């Protein structure tokens, strides 16, 4: 309890600039934690839906029936299923127009899948840039508050005839809180950014592999 009151007292008696820095860092920490939890839920759901779709896709069922089922299911509009829907829809549409030009049909389907994949990656990568920004800038923002607080403490010594460590220690302690809060905001953001970036990259590779395999499957059907 004494430690909490001491920390609270340091923040309460800090200068206005240091308090403003602390407020910014605390706000950044709260927002980043909200995004960390949100990204974790969305990426975990994307992996789960990708596993379920791949299991159903390679079960040997009819692709037309799979497309109809996904079109009726709102959950089918995300992830790997959305890439399949975009490619299969464009493939069927172009087959009616370009009956003999198989390559044009396949290229059109691949373009549609690329667009769907780009949208999906944008959805997965949302807020990751903010986490990277918080992780890289928070320590420097906290350092700025610390430097400012220390400058204020030493500047106050100019009005004192005899300078002692006891006079500057409270001000320096108040200033160092800014660095601590900056690290508190930065470390989780950096860890989450690295972890989620790796997971998104793995999903991107899975989507790429699926697109190639699906394109090969459509090419075989086109030859038939």
pTM of the model: 0.82
- Is 6 part of a structural domain of the chain? no
Half-sphere exposure of 109 (CA within 13 A, CB side): 27
* Alpha carbon separation from 218 to 53, 102, 141, 210, 212 (Å, rounded): 17, 10, 54, 12, 10
| Opening angle at CA 158, ends 153 and 164, nearest 5 | 65
- Crossing angle, helix 16-57 and helix 128-156, to 10 degrees? 160
**Residue 5 confidence (pLDDT):** 40
- Is 176 part of a structural domain of the chain? yes
Q: Count up the domains in the chain and report the number.
A: 1
**Residue 222 confidence (pLDDT):** 62
Cβ proximity of 174 and 18 under 8 Å: yes
- Is 170 part of a structural domain of the chain? yes
In this structure, what token pair is assigned to residue 101? 């030009």
Average pLDDT over residues 17-35: 91
**Pick from 25-29, 70-74, 105-109, 154-158: least confident:** 154-158
Half-sphere exposure of 23 (CA within 13 A, CB side): 8
- Is 5 part of a structural domain of the chain? no
- Is 4 part of a structural domain of the chain? no
State which residues form the domain around 134: 17-223
In this structure, what token pair is assigned to residue 160? 């004192």
- Is 10 part of a structural domain of the chain? no
- Is 7 part of a structural domain of the chain? no
- Is 8 part of a structural domain of the chain? no
């Amino acid at each position: 309890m004494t430690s909490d009151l001491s920390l609270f007292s340091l923040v309460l008696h800090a200068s206005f600039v240091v308090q403003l820095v602390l407020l910014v860092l605390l706000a950044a920490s709260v927002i980043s934690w909200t995004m960390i939890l949100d990204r974790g839920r969305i990426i975990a759901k994307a992996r789960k839906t990708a596993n379920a779709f791949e299991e159903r896709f390679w079960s040997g069922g009819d692709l037309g029936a799979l497309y109809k089922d996904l079109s009726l299911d709102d959950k089918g509009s995300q992830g790997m299923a959305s890439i399949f829907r975009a490619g299969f829809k464009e493939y069927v549409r172009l087959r009616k127009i370009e009956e003999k030009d198989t390559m044009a049909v396949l290229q059109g389907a691949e373009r549609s899948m690329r667009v769907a994949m780009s949208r999906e990656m944008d959805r997965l990568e949302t807020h990751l840039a903010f986490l990277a920004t918080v992780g890289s800038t928070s320590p420097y923002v906290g350092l700025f508050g610390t430097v400012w607080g220390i400058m204020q403490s030493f500047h106050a010594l100019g009005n004192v005839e005899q300078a002692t460590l006891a006079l500057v220690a409270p001000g320096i302690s108040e200033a160092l809180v800014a660095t601590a809060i900056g690290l508190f905001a930065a470390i989780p953001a950096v860890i989450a950014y690295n972890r989620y970036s790796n997971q998104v990259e793995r999903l991107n590779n899975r989507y790429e592999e699926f697109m190639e395999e699906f394109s090969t499957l459509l090419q075989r059907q086109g030859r038939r």
